Structure 1
Amino acid sequence: MPGFCPATADGRARQPMRLPNTRFFCFREVDLEQVCRNRVRYRAMTKTALIVEDEIFVALDLERILTEAGYTVTAIAADRETALAAAPECGIAFVDVNLRDGPTGPDIAARMARDYGVRCVFVTANPTQIGDGGGALGYIRKPFSDAAILAAARLAGEGVAPTNGDVVVLR
């Protein structure tokens, strides 16, 4: 299984390591917290996105825009349970406020940001329902343009501030 590190009795991980100037490997102990931090950084550097949207045509439009720009959409989720299950595999997320299970978008964004380091942007017709932002970087109003989604993706993935007014930055 790729990425599998057998754990030692004290909870540390054993990771394969190539011995210098040879083709042989040995195992070294590594700090599990550091491994998790590195995986979060790697996900943020890769172009992986999660779409949390219950309207299928909106979700497919977001997927089209992101895929054409070189992003990999790891999942489309329509509710809290599906979104949180898919969160560990993505670096950025586009989250609607009102989903199939109610106005759970702000809570989902806060949990994904806190628990998995996912950088979230809301895509909503109701920005007044966002509240304090729930850990999200900003929001885009529906209906949206391709340029607005790409600006938000650059904000979330690369930290590049948007140059137009399509993305409202919250923090």
Structure 2
Amino acid sequence: MTTNSSAIEKKYNKWIILLSIVIPLAVAVLFVVKIPNATPLPFLPPIYATINGITAVLLVIAVMAVKNGKRKLHENLMKCAIGCSLLFLLMYIAYHMTTPSTKFGGEGTIKYVYYFILLTHILLSVAIIPLVLITYVRALAERFDRHKKIAKITYPLWLYVAVTGVIVYLMISPYYIY
């Protein structure tokens, strides 16, 4: 490892830790804190579900690109996937701070399927934050051996979070009140 690579990783480690704590806390708080007299934003869920779908597609294409030796394309697609995830997060926070929560109305087995998918989606969305950031920083530091090692963990989990975000939306969308 070069000194420069080590310095780059160390430089970003504090940010990775900070963001890995602050983002989940902010999301948790949004379920308690509502903006008084805010205009509800019921149009956001289909948009951010679509963004989750786009993220999933970007991830798959990015992995195919790097496997085909197209490193610059991979890099650009991954930056777009990170941007989509950030855009999703901002819309998700805006929606939940301004709009009453929707309860899932399904019954029987589908209810348990929904809550299983939702719970695993939420837990992995928290875990994916530091994984994505560490994976990105390792590429930035040109530590591709270490980048590849963690990317093998990050990729399937991030893909699962993106795909289940769409599934959760599709399952709860019939119960939205507009």
| Alignment TM-score, normalising by the size of structure 1 | 0.27
| Alignment TM-score, normalising by the size of structure 2 | 0.26
Which structure features the higher share of strand residues? 1
Which structure features the higher share of helix residues? 2
